[in-house]
Amino acid sequence: MTEYTFDTQVLPGDDAGVAAAGRLLAAGQLVGIPTETVYGLAADATDAAAVLSIYAAKERPADNPLIVHIAELEEIYNIAAEVPEAALRLAKAFWPGPLTIILPRGKNIPPEVSAGLDTVSIRMPSHPVARAIIKASGKPLAAPSGNRSGRPSPTEARHMLEDMNGRIPLIVDGGECSVGVESTVMTLCTQEPLVLRPGAVTAEQLSAVLGCPVLLSHAITEGLKEGEAPQSPGMKYKHYAPKAEVTLVVGDTAQYTAYVNAHAEEGRMALCFAEDEPALQIPCVVYGAADKPEQQAQQVFSALRRLDECGAKTVLAHCPQTGGVALAVYNRLLRAAAFRVIQL
């Protein structure tokens, strides 16, 4: 295990912060960057050694590939070996924004970025500070979420500092992430377009732009079957987990609050909707209104971290809906709960 002996600097996302980030990245160093989805741990995607240091700092399994971030559409031709018409249509509709597209990997991108796969995932973020840093570095940036592997993704600079202090020289603070869950990951390398990870861009929206069905990987809601090869390596791993043991509880406000109140115990907290809070008799953290999936997405990861800060040992989480944007929230909470679900 590497010894870490220095403090990580946190700079605001102004001209000086962006310039410092650009210099470090161009020199092969790691920088924490804000994006509209979550904070990312960035390195020059064309520098294999820099990319490998991402895996080390995150303690990320070596077979879990990274997303390459670009600031201009033309860059896609330097990253992918082929750019089908469907990719351009999706890019025009959803970039800059929370959509990652998987294409055949081009020769400028070292295999380390893709954990040896012959595909590469590409996204153009909309956060102005992310875009400015990509441009300042002059490089495409490989950037997974900026948490230590297995932890909830960071949606504020201080979350990233918690996980990365002493491991990287700089985090640029661009405020709270507006989307709050990681990008929708979809592949165009399968026979039919397939969503591997749900995000703020929904399968229905993708399908409307492409004019064809877009499938959802079954692993999004079911996990992998015993011995099944994952379509995306990230599906294999424990994810988003706070220290507390989380259980998802499916039911309406009255059912959920009655269940939680009847199962109060030492160290137990609720992760609930705003509507639940007045009726709850145990400490709780709210993650948005029941009918506002965008709000839930924006708050879910910081809520998970807050539960740890409060010292929760077990958490009863009110299960979100499972369609549209809420599918992304459900997918994250299901993994945070290691697939423990109680149906009322």
Give the C-alpha separation, 322 to 34, whole Å.
Answer: 27
User: Residue 20 or residue 113: which is nearer to ligand AMP going by CB?
Assistant: 113
Residue window 60-79: x/- pattern of binding to Mg ion, with contact defined by CB under 5 A: --------------------
The residue range among 26-34, 78-86, 104-112, 139-147 that interacts with Mg ion, by the rule CB under 5 A, is 139-147
One DSSP character per residue, 76-104 reads HHHHBS---HHHHHHHHHH-SSSEEEEEE
Q: In what order do the strands lie in the sheet with 268-272?
A: 284-286, 268-272, 314-318, 245-250, 341-343
**Rounded to the nearest 5°, which phi and psi values hold at 46?**
-95, 0
Q: Smaller CB distance to ligand AMP: residue 29 or 114?
A: 114
Q: Which two tokens stand for residue 189?
A: 């390398």
Rounded to the nearest 5 degrees, what angle is found at the Cα of 107, between the Cα atoms of 106 and 111? 90
By CB under 6 A, name the binding residues for ligand AMP.
64-67, 102, 114, 117, 119-121, 144-145, 182, 185, 196-197, 232-234
| 121 binds Mg ion per the rule CB under 5 A | no
The smaller minimum CB distance to ligand AMP, of residues 249 and 328, is found at 328
- Judged by beta carbon, residue 154 or residue 193, the one nearer Mg ion is 154
Q: What is the C-alpha R_g of the chain?
A: 20
Please, what is the minimum distance in Å from the beta carbon of residue 302 to ligand AMP?
17
Which of the listed partners (ligand AMP, Mg ion, none) does 81 bind, with a CB threshold of 5 to 8 Å by partner kind?
Answer: none
Report the residue number, 240 or 256, with the smaller CB distance to ligand AMP.
240
* Min CB(267)–Mg ion separation in Å: 27
DSSP secondary structure string, 237-284? S--S--SSEEEEEES-HHHHHHHHHHT--TTEEEEE-TTTGGG--S-E
Binding status of residue 145 toward Mg ion by CB under 5 A: yes
Whichever of 42 and 285 has its CB closer to ligand AMP, that residue is: 42
DSSP, residue by residue, 159-182: HHHHHHTTTSSEEEE--S-SS-SP
Nearest distance from C-beta of residue 231 to ligand AMP, angstroms: 7
Chain residues binding Mg ion by CB under 5 A are 145
